[in-house]
Chain A
Amino acid sequence: MGILDGLLGRPAPAEPDSGVLFALPAAAPALEAATGFTPTGEGGVCHRQVEGGAFGAFERVQREVARLLPGDAARRVETSAGPYGWGWTHLTRPPGAFGELVADLHLVNATLTAAGFGRYLLCSVAAFRRGADPQRLFLVHVPGRGAFYPFAPRPPGGPDPGRRRSNLVETRARDALAGDLAMEPDTARWFPLWDVPGL
């Protein structure tokens, strides 16, 4: 967003670029080799619940997404909405079908962008786990920045209650993926997502 745009009161929207999502399947082996985390098959897209009612343009796009991504034996699709005006499209695939999950995530992104709602996409997320360890790792893709960041919430029931993140897991994941993916350099922009699907 340029300073002039700000001063004139018209901040420019960042162009969403969901194509970089396709780099995820290729980067997953590097992540597993360095940290042991493998895909769980869960993922999701977070977006604004744009208003307009049941017959509005946004609902129409959501119906379009539901039509393109029917739930079946190999894929589960759910939607959820929070009180603050954003919602998730949850996608679940078998753990082995990570490439297909990423393709689904991209489809949701592309459908919303094509309908003109690209600026209301907040992020796309893929979940990872390490064996039977309750620790989860999420790779978050922010369309406006075109970058990924790791989010590793500490499992509940640890020594300290409350919402804590594991810096160690996040930093290791960042280091493991830095060669394959564009990682967000500014750790202040590694925003936590406590309502992420798969947590």
Chain B
Amino acid sequence: MAPSRAAAGPGLTRRMLAAVVLVALVYAAAVLPAFLAGPVWGTAAVAAAMVVAACSARMADRLVLHAMDARPVDAAAEPELHAVLDRLCLSSGLPKPRLAISSKDVPNAFAAGSGPGSAVVCVTEGLRARLGPAELAAVLAHETAHVANRDVLVAAVASFPGLVGGLVLGWWTGLFTGRDRGAAGRVAAPVLGIVLLPLGLAAAVLHTAGTLAWLALSRHRELCADSTGALLTGRPADLASALAKVSDDLRDASRDDLRSLRPAGARCVVAARGDGVAGLLSTHPTLERRRARLADLSWRLASGG
């Protein structure tokens, strides 16, 4: 009996692999000049870019925890939450992640750390105030599933080309709009910009394609973490009701509250901008889609695996 494999589902795995291929294509396109020099050089360039992305994830972790005003808490300060994490580690076999509490009033939770060994799971005060114990356990299980799936690392590697493309694009447009230059620079910069037009176009394409591929992958990782987390606790309905509560509260939250979540945005259990422009531009699947999957799991558990 292997309910977890059945839960992720072959369909979901296949679509996620498609998103992985998209990300790989973006990488290949980004280092196209190296591929022109030879396939070995191209592969080496892709590997180097991925390593840089992974390193940047390590540094970003500390920034995220700092920006979210998260303080680590030990078992004496938070016995209940630590007991929940202990039980999750008993069933998942993971080493115990550290626990941090953010003083923000917005209800949310996120995981930081690029591997199970160095992971931190953070919940906000707002989340603890609004959710019941079983729902809190379900959210922690969702975050533990992210840790098990190494989603922080996956997201860092997947979002890197889009990020770099965006940076280059920003610099290139800055050549035309920049004001903080001397007279000579003001003439030279637009000329340089016109000369570098192909670079700017490439950056724009890379930024767009890279971001879309990353978002597609991110949505699938969320669905995976939902299933894995729900199967760790055996209670998908708790996660579904927690997601509904958090989404409701985020819809009512003030603009300032939402802004304060931005540093951890893509990592949160529920995205700050849930019903955005369209499904394509969101890091998280829609609430309806997540709840439908969880209801499916509930039904399967109730009827015996």
Contacts and interface: CB of A to CB of B under 8 A. Distances in A.
Contact of B234 (A3, A51, A145): A51
Contacts, number: 145
24 contacts: A8-B13, A10-B4, A10-B5, A10-B224, A10-B228, A12-B4, A12-B5, A14-B93, A48-B91, A48-B235, A49-B235, A60-B304, A85-B233, A85-B234, A115-B304, A119-B91, A120-B234, A144-B91, A144-B93, A162-B76, A189-B95, A191-B89, A191-B96, A194-B83
A116 B1 contact: yes
A110 to B, nearest CB: 14
Interface string B78-95: 011001101101111111
Contacts of A68: none
B234 A58 contact: yes
A108 B113 CA distance: 37
A interface majority secondary structure: loop
B46 to A, nearest CB: 17
Given A57-B303, A60-B304, A84-B137, 19 more contacts: A1-B92, A8-B13, A9-B149, A9-B228, A10-B224, A12-B5, A56-B301, A83-B133, A84-B80, A84-B136, A85-B138, A86-B87, A116-B1, A117-B305, A118-B1, A120-B91, A123-B90, A163-B76, A193-B86
Interface string A45-57: 0101111110111
B86 A192 contact: yes
A119 B228 CA distance: 12
Nearest to A48: B234
A140 to B, nearest CB: 9
B143 interface: no
B225 interface: yes
Nearest to A120: B234
B133 A11 contact: no
B219 to A, nearest CB: 12
B235 A53 contact: no
B8 interface: yes
Interface of B: 1-5, 8, 12-13, 16-17, 75-76, 79-80, 83-84, 86-87, 89-96, 132-134, 136-138, 145, 148-150, 154, 220-221, 224-225, 227-228, 231, 233-238, 298, 301-305
B301 A50 contact: yes
Contact of A122 (B90, B136, B225, B301): B90
Contact of A11 (B79, B90, B228): B228
Contact of B235 (A6, A51, A191): A51
B2 to A, nearest CB: 7
Contact of B301 (A51, A163, A194): A51
Contact of A57 (B95, B233, B305): B305
B301 A10 contact: no
A150 B303 CA distance: 36
